Amino acid sequence: MSTVTALGKAVPRPAAARARSGQVPIGWLALLAAPVAAGANAPVLILPDMARSLGVATATATWLVTAFAWAMAAGTPLLAGLLRRRGLAPVLRLSTGLVLGGTALVTAAPWLPVALAGRAAQSLGGAGLVAIAMNLAGNARRMGVISSGFGVLGAAGPLLGATLTDAVSWRLALAVSAVAVVAVPAVARYAGQTPPAQGRFDTRGATLLIALATTLILLPTAPLPALAGALVAAALLAAHVRRRPEGFVPARLLRSPLFVTSAVLGAALSTSYFTLLFTVPRLLQDRAGWTTGTIGTGQLVTLLIASAASWLLAAGSARMGRAAVRAVLITVGVTAAVTAALATSGALLLLAAGAAAFAATGANATLSVQAAAATTDAQRPTAIGLFALSYQLGGAFGPGLATLLVLG
């Protein structure tokens, strides 16, 4: 890009000037955020290979998936809170270091505990990069590009992981999230757009929220202890919010019908999607007699189409209005669940999976913007982080419900 001088000559505009004058190009933001989705889903088809390499049972190796999900759910509001308090530049450096350090651990890990630490670090760093991308997106259309990128790479993650494992190693498959660091230098030029807020960081509030998220994630695997822990953590967090209403969990957000509705609806649609993501393959086998290869191909194509369609919803959401967007999301989400419960046709079951993916991905793009609109600009990173936490809890609840319904 260039400017024109008084003599009519064009001269290049410095990168810093370009950064100050506009938004971060959406392609860089999508590249910054989306690879974490591929990294999260890469282990789905290669758990036996990982288990053999680390000398553990396949069931034990699933902790690599759980650790990633926990760190993403807990890390997103934590890194979003740091973004609010410290600004973009330090959070970008920290997140990049966590992604690279975690990837190095996973690549060299001789034992499962080391690999678990690496996966958690990868996920925490990825959560920070996602929080940065979502805060710099600015509107639903651009948020839709990021969310669609999540859907596309998330859908391709299992196949990509299996391909890289066959060609090289499962360790390379778990390193795909590190591709995000390619976008870091470009995004760093816009560091001045998110100045730090005043005041000290609410460590106690952050700790209690992470404790609550952790117990909620454990509900499907240890219901009674997790429920007891969640009730205790929720009570302590509620008391803390009353003492410090402008802390890590702002009381203003909890009192906002717009934020609460957005967060609850996002969590419900996400849970429905992840439940069907795991149940539809089994239903296709049992009800339609499909082979594993046909199921994998059909599900991949369906999810890719759904992710692209969700961007169209996000792009038109400003013209539709909040109520209409929610009506579309609820209608499609409920239809997906009912269809999956009743359908015997393979095509209808795939349609149900695609509808659930459309609703969840569209909710992530549109409702996150609505949630952020419920508060001040200073608290925008916190609102987006807390919405992302509610949405990502669906990734923990969904597989547990799938186990109870058809996988158990």
Check pLDDT > 50 for residue 18: no
Which contacts (CB < 8 Å, 24+ apart) does range 26-30 have?
26/137, 26/142, 26/145, 26/146, 28/183, 28/186, 28/187, 29/133, 29/136, 29/137, 29/142, 29/145, 29/146, 29/183, 29/187, 30/133, 30/145, 30/146, 30/149
- Burial of 172 (C-beta count, 10 Å sphere; 0-12/13-18/19+): middle
Span 227-253, average pLDDT: 92
Check pLDDT > 50 for residue 221: yes
Q: What is the pLDDT of residues 323-368, one digit of tens each?
A: 999 999 999 999 999 999 998 899 999 999 999 999 998 998 889 8
Report the pLDDT value the prediction gives residue 80, as an integer from 0 to 100.
Answer: 82
Percentage above 70 pLDDT, the chain: 91
Report the pLDDT value the prediction gives residue 330, as an integer from 0 to 100.
Answer: 96
* Range name among 172-186, 286-300, 314-328, 360-374 with the lowest pLDDT average: 286-300
In whole numbers, what is the pLDDT of the chain averaged over residues?
A: 84
H helix runs in 168-291, sequence order: 170-173, 184-188, 203-217, 223-243, 251-254, 257-288
Q: What is the pLDDT of residues 63-97, one digit of tens each?
A: 888 788 888 888 888 888 888 777 888 999 999 99
Span 267-287, average pLDDT: 86
Report the pLDDT value the prediction gives residue 340, as an integer from 0 to 100.
Answer: 92
* Range name among 164-168, 227-231, 291-295, 391-395 with the lowest pLDDT average: 291-295
Q: What is the pLDDT of residues 97-151, one digit of tens each?
A: 999 999 999 999 999 999 999 999 999 999 999 989 888 887 778 888 888 888 7
Two tokens, residue 239: 């008391």
- The more confident residue out of 16 and 225 is 225
- The more confident residue out of 339 and 152 is 339
pTM, whole model, 2 decimals? 0.79
Report the pLDDT value the prediction gives residue 240, as an integer from 0 to 100.
Answer: 95
Report the pLDDT value the prediction gives residue 242, as an integer from 0 to 100.
Answer: 94
Report the pLDDT value the prediction gives residue 192, as an integer from 0 to 100.
Answer: 62
Cβ partners under 8 Å of residue 142, min gap 6: 23, 26, 29
Instruction: Tell me the C-alpha distance between 147 and 266, whole Å.
Output: 13
Percentage above 90 pLDDT, the chain: 36
- Burial of 274 (C-beta count, 10 Å sphere; 0-12/13-18/19+): buried
Instruction: Tell me the C-alpha distance between 173 and 164, whole Å.
Output: 5
132-145 burial string, b = 16+ CB within 10 Å, else e? bbbbbbbebbbbbb
Report the pLDDT value the prediction gives residue 193, as an integer from 0 to 100.
Answer: 56
